[in-house]
Amino acid sequence: MKFAKYILLVIISIIAIVTIQLFVSGYIQWYLNGKYEITSATIEQIMDKDGIVHVHEIINYKMRKPFRGVYRYVEQSRAVKIENVKLWIENVDGERVEFLRKNNREFEARVWVSNTPISPQEIENIELHVTYDAKYVLENGSDISQVFRQFWGAKWDAPVNNITAKFVFPEDLTVEKIYTHPKINYSRNGNTFTLNIKKLPPYTFAEARFIFPPKKLKYSYENSSLYLSEIEEIEKTYSTKVLLSRILPPVFIIISIVLLTLIFNFFGRERQIPYNGIYEREIPYNDSPDIVNAIVVNQLSKIDSDGISAVIMDLYKKKYVELDKEGKYIKILDKDGNDLSETEKFFYRLLRKYSYDNVFSFSQLKKTLSKDKKLAKDFLDEFNAYKSLVVDIAKSRKYLSVVGTYLSYLVGIFSIISSILIFFSFSKINFAYQSVFSTILFAIGAGVFILPKDVFGSWSKEGREYYLKWKNFEKFLTDYSLLSQYPPESIVLWEDYLVYATALSIADKVEKHLKKLIPKDIDVNETVYYYPYRRFGRQFYVVSTVAHSTVYGNSSGKGGFSGGAGGIGGGSGGGGGGAF
């Protein structure tokens, strides 16, 4: 059962990080709100002998939600000037083009299909054509010339499938080198280059840089600050980043696994002890249930609501309190507390202090604490002091060494931070690759914090025996066939069993077994078997939450082209588009 819980928590962590990745990349917003998807795009850019690039884009939309039309915009970029802009839809008659912005540097246009929203069932596929001429695309530098074009812009809010970009240059231009961002497969036939991309996430650009010997054309731009050395430095840096994007994720995973393996071997292996018991039919130690809960269930980290419930049930069994059958209040009885453990005595005093007329009412206390900040702080301080006392006593026995646990936490932090860094650093280069590896890395890191402390920590000999005896007692209580062979001899023992079953977080299962075995003449509603009694621990934590809110509340706080080679993402063209 516990193993299933750990697996579930790891799965939840993986789902959470994948959801974050999809949200950051824009996939979730597109999936929930996107009006369209792009099934294919063909971008043809042909340069004539004067240096004018004739651009023809064919963008195929598949509509997902009601729409009125589609739009396209190209932003001002580098020294490029544009003219002869035309837009039309090939497969729909009667479209109307509306330019929202149009000059010799940029344009933004809507292509209306209908004045009122129409359903994708009426028109599902739209084939948008965009043509324009671009001047000054060829840049002449000091020792080279370049064409640096972003053929797919970073402002499309939908993923795109099957991009084909075709670049054609005059015969007197010799392409010496081509760089693509991201790295793209391409083919060359003379001075015709064809680039293919199967899929790009939303808000992701694609561009190509072509390098030529110095060449002046009628419509080339003189860029005196353009140097081959600068381009090579930029592209070398980018290539290094691409290489790191491939190498670092698996390397970080290997490092994390190796470190965790070493930590386990040095600090997590358990000592051999002479105890070989399979079941414990008697309560193995005379510890109070809150101590057992802190050591066995929570491995010296805390006491949980089951531990609190078990203490309240133990106080009821020892006649220190009476419990309301509806779980609304605890009636405090006046006793000296001589037969209570140190922690139970502290908790009993806490109940008495915050009771009114010897009644500890959860609903009344929540109302009081929500209005009285000082009282709420006092309650929080004393409740936290009780929990600290339980953990301190548990730790004082030195049952569990957590050196390996804390070292594993450092590895976990390294894994989680690394997964976040590699995703944000490299997701635009290769989204799917980074998503897979960063998810694995995050799962390793999250798993470290989810696992019990004794996986990478280790019990002392005394602690190991203590832990195993309680776990074997737990096995006995949850094995009905064995429990029926050795039933408790008195109602007192029956109640003891359920108190410790609650502390061990197995009360529901044990209660079902015990109810089948308890003598018929006993009224279970007058014993700790009564189910509402096991809800008091949760009620206590609800009161604590109210007090915390009262004390701390909800905190709140009070262009022009300048030259150069152009960095990654700085190619001319690009822009975006969509549907409306």
Q: Pick the closest to residue 45 from 128, 178, 149 (CA basis).
A: 149
Phi, psi of 106 (to 5 degrees): -160, 165
Q: Say if residues 106 and 541 touch (Cβ distance below 8 Å).
A: no
pLDDT tens-digit map of 28-62: 888 888 889 999 999 999 999 999 999 999 999 99
* Cα 41 from Cα 62, distance rounded (Å): 12
- What is the maximum alpha-carbon separation in the chain? 107
Polymer length in residues for the chain: 580
226 contact partners, CB below 8 Å, separation of at least 6: 139, 140, 141, 142, 144, 146, 563, 564, 565
Phi, psi of 500 (to 5 degrees): -75, -30
**pLDDT score, position 41:** 95
pLDDT tens-digit map of 225-234: 888 988 889 8
**pLDDT score, position 360:** 93
pLDDT tens-digit map of 499-549: 999 999 988 887 777 767 666 655 555 554 455 566 788 888 899 999 999
Degrees to nearest 5, angle at CA 382 with 294 and 506: 25
pLDDT tens-digit map of 378-412: 999 999 999 999 999 999 999 999 999 999 999 99
* Domain residue spans of the chain: 34-226, 270-402+457-551
* Cis omega (within 30 of 0) for bond into 182: yes
pLDDT tens-digit map of 281-302: 889 999 999 999 999 999 999 9
Phi, psi of 101 (to 5 degrees): -155, 130
Which residue is associated with the tokens 């670092």?
A: 248
| Contacts for 523-526: CB closer than 8 Å, 24+ residues apart | 525/325
**Residue 335: burial class (beta carbons within 10 Å; 0-12, 13-18, 19+):** middle
* Cα 328 from Cα 364, distance rounded (Å): 10
Q: Label residue 563 by pLDDT band (50, 70, 90).
A: low
CATH architecture of 34-226: Sandwich (2.60)
* Cα 166 from Cα 43, distance rounded (Å): 6
**pLDDT score, position 10:** 75
**pLDDT score, position 497:** 84
407 contact partners, CB below 8 Å, separation of at least 6: 263, 267, 456
Answer with the residue of higher pLDDT: 81 or 486.
81
* Cα 329 from Cα 363, distance rounded (Å): 8
Q: Label residue 268 by pLDDT band (50, 70, 90).
A: confident
With 70 as the cut, is the pLDDT of residue 484 above it? yes
- What tokens were used for 229? 């050395």
